[in-house]
Amino acid sequence: MLSYNKAVDSRQYLVQEFIQGETLQQELDNRGIFNESQIRELLIDLLSVLQFVHNNNLIHRDIKPENIMRRETDKKLVLVDFGASKIMPKTQRRTVTGTVIGSAEYCAPEQSMGKAKLASDLYSLGVVCLHLLTRMSPFDLSQKLYPVSCIHFVKLKKKSVTRISLHFSNNFDILLL
């Protein structure tokens, strides 16, 4: 995102760079499930992006594999499509009450009730990672996981799911709990 401002008439506008590359969903479809090292790289790249976005009082509200692209020129991951984003008033850093928006499969519970907060983006990123590790729809994951933790499920499943280390799984749980 190059600019996000309010015009004189209080309308919000944003300017986004055109990114040439593949989305993570396209990578998943073309190359298969991600491994722990790929997920670690994704988190390193995108957590710093989210820190910058959140430090500028903005919530993305639609983090999903289709909105994360690998830039063709330098292979860096880029968060795109800020069309659902919302400016969070500086005095209200915890929760923004408003419209229910975002992709339901990746939405944090509080966001699906119209009460998005900065941590909602982190939850969505965690769900994206689970989808990339398992190639399962987040809706299918939630039905199979309850009441087992997400990470437990990833470790127990035997076919077509990436095995992850205990250390990584413990850190991963923090995003989703």
Instruction: Look at residue 10 in the predicted model and tell me its pLDDT.
Output: 62
Instruction: Look at residue 141 in the predicted model and tell me its pLDDT.
Output: 66
Instruction: Look at residue 148 in the predicted model and tell me its pLDDT.
Output: 43
Instruction: Look at residue 28 in the predicted model and tell me its pLDDT.
Output: 96
Residue 15 carries which DSSP code?
E
CA distance 3 to 177: 32
62 is catalytic: yes
Token pair in block for residue 146? 């309850």
CA distance 175 to 86: 21
| CATH number of the domain located at residue range(s) 3-87+96-176 in this protein | 1.10.510.10
pTM above 0.95, yes or no: no
CA distance 121 to 56: 14
Instruction: Look at residue 146 in the predicted model and tell me its pLDDT.
Output: 44
**Which helix (DSSP H) or strand (DSSP E) does residue 71 occupy?**
strand 68-71
Domain borders along the chain are 3-87+96-176
Instruction: Look at residue 53 in the predicted model and tell me its pLDDT.
Output: 86
Which residues of the chain are under the pLDDT cut of 50?
1-2, 95, 146-159
Q: Which of 62, 74, 81, 140 is labelled catalytic?
A: 62
